[in-house]
Structure formats: C-alpha cells, structure tokens
Amino acid sequence: MLTAEQVLAAQKANLETLFGLTNKAFEGVEKLVELNLQVAKTALGEAAETTRAALSVKDAQELLSLQASLLQPSAEKAASYSRHLYDIATATNAEVAKVAEAQLADVQQKFAAVVDTAAKNAPAGTENAVALVKSAVAAANNAFESVQKATKQAAEVAEANFQAATAQAVKATQGATTRKRAA
C-alpha cells in the first residue's frame, strides 16, 4: 500500500517532469521562431537586392541571366531551411524521448520492486503464479525494448532518406540551372 508521502513524492516528480518537458518544447519553439526571423530578415534583404538588380537590367539577355542566377540559391536555401527545421524537430524529439525513457525505466524498476515484495509476502504454494508474473513482466520489458530499438532504427533510416532526398533535390536544381544558363 502506498503511503501519503510516496503519493506526494510521485506527484512532485511527475510535475517536475511535466515542467521539464514543457521547457524543452518551448526551447524548440524558440529555435523555430529564431530560424524563421532569420529567414525573413535574409529574404527581405535579398528581395531588396534582387529588385535593385532587376531595375538595373538593360536587356532581355541580362534579365534571363539574372533569373537563372536566382534559381539555384533559392533551392539551396529551401533545402537548408528544411534541414534546420528537421534538426530542431529531431533535437526536441530526442530530449522528450530521453525523458520518457528515464520515466519508463523508473516505472519498470518500481513495478519490479512491487512484484518482488508481493512475491516475498505471497502465501505458500503460489510460487508458480509468482514465477509466471515475473516471466510475463520480463517478456513485456523485452518486447518493449525490441519495439524501441526498431523505432530508433526506423528513425535513422528516415533521417538518412531525408538527407539523401534533400541532396538529390539540390543537385537536380543545380543541374537544371546549369542547363538553363547554357541554353
């Protein structure tokens, strides 16, 4: 049976965890806002620069050349922005996952202690039932660890695919820009 102190301690720990996760979420949002402000500021400066360049164009050939020179950096910037967004989301997710794993490990440890205490206080003749419960708990923990490993591997594969797709998109844009300039 849980005492009032144990319940209070558990509630306090849960609140600390909640506040910690909330702070991590806000840090991620702050990074996202900072990135968006930086992008907006850069875009404004580049728009002014591009407008000045467009207004100083003297013929159609110069205009086509200006247009071609603007395409490639735009694709690279979009890819860079996507990478930054992905990095922010991944870092925030990693922090949340770390806290969740620590909480789960703590819960598993406490549950194992409860099972051990119950086993010690169990009446004679219930050894088989206690062994069955312990076996079920161990199997559940092993299954969870397997799912957790598979999830991490899937996330790693998704990240590698994202990086490859981004690199391929930038390459394709560079190739298209080069062909357009040559034409």
**pLDDT band at 133, cuts 50/70/90?**
confident
- Cβ within 8 Å of residue 75, ≥6 positions away: 169, 170, 173, 174, 177
Q: Cβ(72)–Cβ(173) under 8 Å?
A: yes
pLDDT tens column, 9-28: 888 888 888 888 889 889 99
Residue pLDDT, tens place only, 32-47:
999 999 999 998 998 8
Domain boundaries, the chain: 4-182
66-100 pLDDT, tens digit each: 887 777 677 788 888 888 998 898 888 888 888 88
State the Cα–Cα distance between residues 79 and 166, nearest whole angstrom. Answer: 6
Q: pTM for the whole thing?
A: 0.61
Among 166, 182, 177, which residue's Cα sits nearest to residue 72? 177
Nearest Cα residue to 111 out of 5, 8, 10: 10
Helix (H, G, I), strand (E, B) or coil at 165: helix
